[in-house]
Amino acid sequence: MARTFISIDIPENIKKEIKKIQDSLLDFKGKKTEPENLHLTLKFLGEINDKKVESVKEKLKSIRFNKFETEAVSLGVFSENFIRIVWIHLINCEELQKEIDNKLSEVGFAQEDRFMGHLTIARIKHTENKAEFLENIKRIKLPKIKFSVDKFRLKSSILTSEGPVYKTLGEYKLT
pLDDT at residue 73, as a whole number? 96
State how far the Cα of 84 lies from the Cα of 30, in Å rounded to an integer: 9
pTM: 0.92
pLDDT at residue 163, as a whole number? 81
* Marked catalytic residue, from 32, 59, 118, 153: 118
State how far the Cα of 120 lies from the Cα of 76, in Å rounded to an integer: 10
Q: Is 126 a known active-site residue?
A: no
pLDDT at residue 162, as a whole number? 82
One-letter amino acid identity for 128?
Answer: E
One-letter amino acid identity for 27?
Answer: D
Handedness of CA 63, 2, 155, 5 (dihedral sign): positive
pLDDT at residue 113, as a whole number? 84
Beta-bridge partner residues of 86: 77, 122
State how far the Cα of 111 lies from the Cα of 102, in Å rounded to an integer: 7
Question: Vertex 72, ends 70 and 19: CA angle to 5°?
Answer: 115
pLDDT along the chain (175 residues), means of 10: 95 96 97 95 96 97 98 96 96 97 96 91 96 97 96 95 91 97
pLDDT at residue 148, as a whole number? 98
Q: What DSSP line would sit under 75-94, residue for residue?
A: EEES-SSS--EEEEEEES-H
Three-class SS of 90-135:
EECCHHHHHHHHHHHHCCCCCCCCCCCCEEEEEEEEECCCHHHHHH
pLDDT at residue 114, as a whole number? 85
State how far the Cα of 155 lies from the Cα of 41, in Å rounded to an integer: 10
* Marked catalytic residue, from 32, 39, 52, 103: 39
Q: Domains plus CATH for the chain?
A: 2-173 (3.90.1140.10)
